[in-house]
Structures are given as structure tokens and as C-alpha cells.
Chain A
Amino acid sequence: MTAPAIETQNLTKEYPHGFLHLKRKTSLENLTMQVEEGEVFGFLGPNGAGKSTTIKLLMGIIFPTAGSARILGKPVSDVSMHRDIGYLPEQPYFYDYLTAAEVLDYFARFHGFSAAERKERVQKMLQRVGLETAGKIQLRKFSKGMLQRVGLAQAILHDPKLVILDEPMSGLDPVGRREVRDIILDLKNAGKSILFSTHILSDAETLCDRVGVIAGGQLRGVGAPGSIVGVKSLGMEIIFELTESGGPQIEKIRAKAAKSGANYRMNASDAELYAALAELREAGAKIISVTQIKPTLEDFFMELVGKDRARASAIEVSGQ
């Protein structure tokens, strides 16, 4: 049996704060999760939720207060496994006195590639991230989006087994985001394990096999994007057209419905659906569609964040 790509056990990170550093602030609390081999795992959460803290702990940039983490079966303190990991930091910044090709060459050297191999890989990567014409430009002249592309290139340059991307879509225009999505899908098809953090939920829904939602330093749920939000129906959405020759109830229906282009939209609970449809038929409305409303990842996310904010406000009010 192969080891999970990433495995954490009660991973906790506290930071000292206050004038004498006597107080403790918890950024991550008892995180226990796994990312399986070959899986694309999305790490979702609002700003300050603990996503980047988790990734920094995994990469050995910061050290845990408690708990443990293993990557590809080895403890995160074992630097040798970095040969098999690609990492894109959040808002990456590289040596701005180097050109894009030079910075990639610099990183490739740590993996022991020969000069010819380095040259080939650097060219290939620049092409893959759409920077083939910018290879000889110093990074100080790069835009945020271009730096993000360089970051992605250095993360996958050495063909790692596991790729960890911290907010990979950040700073990219729609074309760039699409290209990064394609790269992630290519990596997935090549059997790589991928962990990426994001707060762009549509990206997570499109790309991930599983997602983990983190808020307030705690993992709130893990599962497939469809299953994590639950299966309960939030009601029915009816799209319809109204004609001027409709019955006397037409004004009443207009008041209840929302106009959307030439059509109207109205929500009804499961129990009220048939009554609503009967009312529309009487008014002479033409039914275009009836769709069940299921909760989206965004609903789930907003619910969690809303609860956290409500809790924070309650604590503030009670003076705790």
C-alpha cells in the first residue's frame, strides 16, 4: 500500500503575541487530513483561515506547535523529499536581478540536472507557462501575473510527484487562470498529486477530486465538492414567461417573481411547488423550466464564514 501524498495528525500552530510574547494566538488547530496519491485536493477558506499556515508547515517554512505531518511517507523535516515536491508560494517573489530563464536555471541546479538538461527544461517550462518570449527579461520588470507564471514553472520544473500550490490563480487574468487550470489538469492526468489553496470556489469545483474547507484555523469539512455541501434540496426554481393576455392574477405573480430578461423567475419550496405551478397556469404563464435548487460549495462556504463571523461578534459583545 502506498503512503498518502500528504498526511497530517493534529497539526497545530500557535504564535506568541503581545508585548512580552506571553499570549498565544492559534492559527491552526488540530488539523488531521489526508491527500491521497494522484488526487487533486482543494484547500478552501477565507483569508486568514489557516490555508497558508498549513502549507508553510508542510514545506518546513514554519514549525508546528503540536502534531505531525508527513509527505510521501516521510516527515516534513526530511528535506530530501523536496526532490519530489513542487511548491508555488503565495504571491511568489524571486530574485529580481535574475531573468526568468536564470531563476529557473538556478532552481534546476538544486535538483542536480546537467547543463544541457537544465537548458532544455527551462525552455520547455517557459513555453508551458507562456513566457517563452520573456525568458531574457529581468524579473524586476515582470507583472504580478508573470511572476505567478514563473512561480508555477519553478514548481513543476523537476517533474515532482506532489505539487503544492498556494493560491495559484492569484494575480492572473482570465486567460492566465484558464492556462493554470489546464496545467493542473495536465498534472492530474499525468498522475501527480496536487494540493492547492484557493478562495475561488468555481476553480475548486472544476478541478478538485476532494476539497477541505478550513475556517478559523479548523477544518470544517472534507469531501467531494458535490458531497461536502450535502444533498438536501433548497427548493425549486421556476422560470416562466408572462403574456399580456394572462388572467387577473398576473399582477400578483409579477409582484412575487423576479424579472430576468424576457423571463420571470420564482422560487418555491418543494411542498409549495404544485400550488405555485397551478397559480401560474391560471395566469396563462408559459413554464420554461423547473429546476431543483441544490446548495453550492459557495453556499456551504458562506454559511461557515457567516457562523465564524457571528461567533466572533458574540465573543466581542460578551467581552471575552
Chain B
Amino acid sequence: MSRILIVARNTFREAVRDRVLYNLVFFALLMIASAVVVGQISMDIETIVMVSLGLSAISLIGLLIAVFTGVGLVSKEIDKRTLHAVLAKPLRRWEFLAGKFTGLVLTLTVNTAAMAAGLFLAMWFVKHSLVRGDTLVLVAVYFILLKLTLVVALAMMFSCFTSPLLAILFTGGLYVAGLFVAQLRSLQNTQMTPHTQKFFSILSYLLPNFENYDVMGAAAHGRAIPRILVLHNTLYTALYCAIVLSVAAVIFSRKDLK
């Protein structure tokens, strides 16, 4: 465990020195500035627009970092051969992967938390107060973080056996497909054979379900988010990440490094 944390700590340090986290300051300033504008042009729905805009921005920025940094975590180390000296230490390959994953999730947590702080600051600026219902925004932020965690795991897995560009495409493709899992599951087409329907049904359960993480609308409109969904999404993310990272570890443990 301690070896995983050594790698994780260094990954976090790399992200900090790589100035990945500095987009937060920019984001926070942007949120506050947009709050002023939104407050002036939106009659009565300023909070809804503000929350929707803020959560979408957190999700988008987080996704970009998760995909691009997630793919680069392993492939960059292989390309630059920094891995050679690291793997010469008493460190197993799966521990290296787990450390890299933990480090990036930690980075994304800090990143997302800071961006959420910017969003709350902007909300306070518009409404001059924060109410109990605003905790729904926190749940939405938590779901975004879970989603990003799963995206990092997928990006890492793809980068273990393919080129960075293809890994980005595969991760992006899987993310988009995962947004339409419910539609795929309820696909009823008379043109389809029973076998094809069965195939799409099985596929819909194998694909990562990114739809479940989307509660932005509910948070913006103040609609309740079921507590069971919080538990479900947390367990779903943990289980899916464990499976994806195990596959990544098996592939990476047998990979010839250049």
C-alpha cells in the first residue's frame, strides 16, 4: 500500500507542477465574472442557469483532464522511459498502475473541489445567500467526480495496449456510448432479430453507464436526488473501476516496454 501511495504522491506532484491545477483559478474567476452577467440578463432563473453552466463547466474541464492526463499517465512514462528506473525498484507493475490512478483521482478531487468552490462563490454572489437545497449541487459535483474516476480508469486501461491517440478515441467513444445506455437497453426495433436485440441488451449492461451520473438538471431545478442513487453510483464506480483496473494490470504486467 505504501508503495502505491509513493507513486500517487509523485503523480499528484507532477500534476501540480505541470500547472494542470492552475486552470482552477481561471475557472473560478470565469464563474464569478459570468455570475455577474447571468445575474443581469436572467430574470428569476439566474440560479438555474448559473448551476447548469457551472456543473457543465466542471464536468467538461474534468473530462478533458481525465482523458488526456489519464491516457498520458502510463504512455508518457513508457515513451520517455522514466518507467525503467522506477520498475527497477521493489515495485510491482500493478502497484505502479494503482499509484498512478490514485494520484490522478486525487488531482481531480482537488481540481473538482476547487471548481465547486468557485461555483458556490458565484451562487452566493448572485443570491447573496446559500440555502439547504444547494447541497444538491454538491451531490451533482460528487457524481461528476465519480464519472471522472471511471473515465480515468478506462483511459489508463486503453493506454496500456494501444497508442495514446487511439486510447483517447476509445475512451471518448466509450464515454459517448455510455451516455446512451438506457436508449440502447430499451431499443425495440421490429427489423431486429431476437439475437441482435439480445446482443444490444447485453452490450448495454457491459458498457459503463454514464447516464446515471447526470443529475445536473435535478440539481439546477432543486429536484430531490434519491439517496439510493448516491449509494448505487458509488458502488457501481468502485466495482467498474476495480474490473477495468484489473484488466489494465493484467495487460500491463505482460507488456514489453520499449
Contact = CB atoms under 8 A, between A and B. Distances in A.
Interface in A49-88: 56, 59-63, 79-80, 82-83, 85-87
B6 A97 contact: no
A80 B87 contact: no
A60 B87 contact: yes
B7 to A, nearest CB: 9
A86 B88 CA distance: 7
Given A59-B84, A82-B89, A82-B90, A106 B256 contact: no
Contact of A95 (B10, B90, B91, B92): B10
Interface string A75-113: 000011011011101011111011000000011011110
Contacts of A92: 81, 84-85
B17 interface: yes
A95 B80 CA distance: 9
12 contacts: A61-B83, A61-B84, A61-B256, A62-B256, A63-B254, A79-B91, A82-B91, A83-B90, A95-B10, A110-B3, A110-B90, A112-B2
Interface of B: 2-3, 6, 10, 13-14, 17-18, 80-92, 254, 256-257
Given A87-B88, A106-B10, 17 more contacts: A15-B256, A56-B257, A61-B87, A62-B257, A63-B256, A79-B91, A80-B90, A83-B90, A85-B88, A91-B81, A92-B85, A94-B82, A94-B85, A97-B13, A110-B6, A110-B90, A154-B85
Contacts of B82: 93-95
Contacts of B90: 79-80, 82-83, 110-111
Interface residues of A, number: 30
Contacts of B10: 95, 98, 106
Contacts of B81: 89, 91-93
A93 B78 CA distance: 11
Interface of A: 15, 56, 59-63, 79-80, 82-83, 85-87, 89, 91-95, 97-98, 106-107, 109-112, 151, 154
Contacts of A82: 88-91
Point out which of B3, B17, B90, B91 has the most chain A C-beta atoms below 10 A from its C-beta: B90
A151 B84 CA distance: 11
A281 B98 CA distance: 80
B92 A89 contact: no
Nearest to B80: A93
Contact of A97 (B18, B87, B254): B18
A106 B87 CA distance: 13
Contact of A110 (B84, B89, B256, B257): B89
A238 B225 CA distance: 98
Which 5 A-B pairs give the minimum distances between C-beta atoms? Answer: A87-B88, A110-B89, A89-B84, A62-B256, A97-B17
A110 B5 CA distance: 10
A150 B20 CA distance: 27
